[in-house]
Every structure is written in C-alpha cells, then in structure tokens.
Amino acid sequence: MALLNDQNVRPAELDSACGFTLVELLVVVGILALLMGILLPILGRARQQAQLTVCASNIRQLALANLLYATDNDSSYVLAAADIFNDLGDGQGGRFRWHGTRDLANQPFDPSRGPLAPYLGVSGQIKSCPLFNPAIGVASGNNFENGCGGYGYNEVYIGGRSDLYGYSPQAAATSAKIAEISTAASKVMFTDAGMAQPLGAGVVVTEYSFCEPPYIQESAGAPSTDMAWPSIHFRHQGRANVAWADGHVTAETLVFSNGSYGLTTAQVQAAGIGWFGPDSNALFQVNP
C-alpha cells in the first residue's frame, strides 16, 4: 500500500483503470451480437451447400452403380420394380425394387438385398440424403417405399418401358439398354424424391422410390395428356439433385407442379414437390 501511495495511485483509481465500464461492456456485447448476426446466415448457407454436396455425391453413386450393373447384365439397367403388378396384399405390389427386397407385404424394403447393393461400395447400402426426414407410417398410403434413401428412379422409361408396353407387367419387367439412350447427358436417371400426402389439415412427405415424369405413360407410344402425381423433391432450398444417364449430377429448380392424394397443386408445390425443365416428358423419355 505504501508503494501505491508513493506512486500517487489510490486504490479506487487502480480498480477503475483495470475494469470495464458498463458502457464499454454494452459496446462489446453489441459488437458480438452484430458479428453473430453476420456469421450465422453465412454458416447456415455453408451448411446447406455441404448438404447439397453430400446428396449430390450419394445420387451420383447410384447412377454409377446402375451403369456398372448394366455392364454386367447385357447392357440393361436395373429394373425399377420388376414384380410391382404382383399383389402381396398391401396394395403396393411386389417384393423387388431397385433399392431393396422385402419378404412380406407392409415390410420395409431391405436395401442391403437390393440389386445395386454389390455396386455401392463396401457397405452395399444406399446412402440417405441428409435433408430427407420422411414421415413413416403416419400418412395415407404410409411410407410404402421405405429404404430408397430419399431418391427416385426413372421407372417409366429407364427402369421400365411403359413407352413400349404401356402400364403393364411386361413394361415393368423390361429396362432400357445403354445403347438405346443416345443423349444420355439429357436423360433423367435419378432425382431427389418424395411423395406429398395429407395428414389432417397439413401435408407430409413420405419416401417414394420413383421420379415420375410430368405426364402419365398409360399405353405404348406417346404419353397421355393427364398429368402424373409429382415426386421430385426440391428440398435443398428450392433445388433438387438430378443424376443424368451419363452419370453427371446437376441441381435443378422447381418450375411447375400438380396435385396428389387429394392435395391441391399449391399445397404440393409448397411442400417443394414438382418438376423442373419443360412441361413434357422429353427429359425422361429414352427416345422422345
């Protein structure tokens, strides 16, 4: 104390020199709040971009697995739903999908037993989109394509041939061949997918393993003029990942939509489900 007094510094003055005033503390808090306000949106966008990138990697892996499958199977791509016309008593049909196998009606499909499993790396598993959280067992129709990871396959023209045989068992049992797709870079193979269904007064999105084209292919030849229920899910801030038949991936934006399960077009579009590109089946058809 004597030393302090010798330097003409009183204890109260020393306390004031070493501390913060209330005004200074408020300024620091304000600066930190401002920095957080700037950084949080940037971090949020970075996280969304990372999720989009992970999803793009997953869906590219599916397209490449399908190409490898075709090289081992007489150049024919994997069948989307070979026995979908077989009634197992659940109204959905069949034991086999491109994404897995089940033994009984109402069972989820097991991705580890799917036809693409040998081509999907060591785990043999279909990786799920990090943004897809399907409503399981709560909506009308339920989550009847469980196990597809939130991805849908072009079953009308690549995983099946409704353009040749209409909506029939023969179409389901026939897939496109590599050589039949002359413009592979502009033909859809897989997309982010989901099906909008009603739940009370709201809307839920369930898993759906097919990416439906805009117009129903009911018979051989040209598509009908009746719109399908959409299943491309634009869950990445209004964008959907699309894997094309040559293996490259793009992020597309929602352009138009249609109703499904009694929901209006506006409700389905608000759920982020619809189509990109032209108002036609041109991007899906093998040879439009």
Looking at residue 21, its pLDDT comes to 82
Looking at residue 229, its pLDDT comes to 97
* Alpha carbon distance 230, 259 (integer Å): 8
* Alpha carbon distance 175, 245 (integer Å): 13
Nearest residue to 189 (alpha-carbon basis) of 56, 281, 84, 59: 59
Average pLDDT, the chain: 87
Name the pLDDT band for 195 (thresholds 50, 70, 90).
very high
pLDDT (tens digit, 9 = 90+) per residue, 225-254?
A: 999 999 999 999 999 999 999 999 999 999
**Terminal C-alpha separation, the chain:** 95
Residue 192 near residue 151, CB atoms below 8 Å: yes
pLDDT (tens digit, 9 = 90+) per residue, 161-183?
A: 999 999 999 999 999 999 999 89
Nearest residue to 226 (alpha-carbon basis) of 288, 160, 267, 281: 281
Q: How many CA atoms lie within 13 A of 108 on its CB side?
A: 13
Mean pLDDT value across residues 94-122: 90
Looking at residue 1, its pLDDT comes to 44
Q: 262, exposed or middle or buried, with CB in 10 Å at 0-12, 13-18, 19+?
A: exposed
pLDDT (tens digit, 9 = 90+) per residue, 207-220?
A: 899 999 999 999 99
* Alpha carbon distance 124, 251 (integer Å): 25
* Alpha carbon distance 254, 67 (integer Å): 27
pLDDT (tens digit, 9 = 90+) per residue, 253-277?
A: 999 999 999 999 999 999 999 999 9
Nearest residue to 213 (alpha-carbon basis) of 278, 264, 271: 278
Q: 187, exposed or middle or buried, with CB in 10 Å at 0-12, 13-18, 19+?
A: buried
Give the CA diameter of the chain. Answer: 104
pLDDT (tens digit, 9 = 90+) per residue, 6-53?
A: 455 455 554 555 566 877 777 778 788 777 777 666 555 556 667 778
Looking at residue 4, its pLDDT comes to 46
* Alpha carbon distance 73, 40 (integer Å): 49
3-state secondary structure of 130: coil
The encoded tokens of residue 253 equal: 């934006």
For the beta carbon of residue 224, count every other beta carbon within 10 angstroms.
12
For the beta carbon of residue 207, count every other beta carbon within 10 angstroms.
27
